[in-house]
Amino acid sequence: MRKLNILAAALAAVGLSPALAQRDFSKVEVTATPVAPNIYMLQGAGGNIGLSVGADGAFIIDDQFAPLADKIRAAVALVTPDPVRFVLNTHWHFDHTGGNESFGGGGAVIVAHDNVRTRLKQGMKNEEMGWSVDPAPAAALPVVTFGDDVTLHWNGHTIRAHHPAPAHTDGDAIIRFVEANVVHMGDIYFQGGYPFIDLQSGGSLDGVIAAQEGVLATIDDETKIIPGHGPLSNKAELASTITMLKDVRRRVKKLVDRGLSEEATVKADPLKDLNGVWGGGFIKGDAMTRTAYRSLKNE
């Protein structure tokens, strides 16, 4: 079984607590929120799950942490008696793919970008940052992978998965239910807070901004957005997040251009007045500053 300390350790590398990986999942409740006819958002712990139900069977986008697989099944069962037949991963992080082994072993077809399978199969290790993840078992691996885009026709929906340039990671997928006007953005979009950007997995601040702008340009005021984390969202809230991230970039870039070190940049507290609105999640102001600094230094 894959180690459950990877994301917490990776977050700790930018100054965050490892509590996420140590939590007790026994009290977590997985609940379903209607998004559109026969489309739901499931929330429990970890990334938000998209759920499509209908004549073809249950289809989910992401599957949170491994210990929650049975609770996810129970939540799905409250909506449909059909088993999960497809899982589409938005990226490789274990709070979005932890249930893969259980669902894949139960017969679901797992779909993801090429780099998701590569990272899960090989495992990852970074001695300098002090984190590692074991190679995933065969049942957890995507059996259908894609490079740029893939389209599924399921439950009367046209479901398009698009791989943007590296953003949150290098294996992200943005999933659209075309007729229903619903978009699942995965961790490219953290609603209401600073994002975690996995630089070690090829992500970048500029990539996140570009991917968000790409979605913004193709949706309307009626679009429902399922973010990777946070409540159901919309175009106006996504636009506000883009404005914030561009502001973060501008502020930190000024200090980078002045030649300040990472520690000096953090000490300068360039996001101080933004933290009250955007720093209430698990990514605090100092961590966002470090991520922006490292991303911009690697341009």
Residue-wise pLDDT tens digits, 4-41: 444 454 444 433 334 445 578 999 999 999 999 999 99
Exposure of 22 by Cβ count < 10 A (0-12 exposed, 13-18 middle, 19+ buried)? Answer: exposed
Give the domain range for residue 51.
6-245
Structural domain includes residue 289? no
pTM over 0.85: yes
Retrieve residue 82's tokens.
Answer: 């059909």
106: domain CATH number is 3.60.15.10
Q: How many domains does the chain have?
A: 1
Segments of the chain with pLDDT less than 70: 1-22, 125-131
End-to-end CA distance of the chain: 36
pLDDT at 15: 38
Report if residue 196 sits inside a domain. Answer: yes
How far is Cα 129 from Cα 12, in angstroms, rounded to an integer? 9
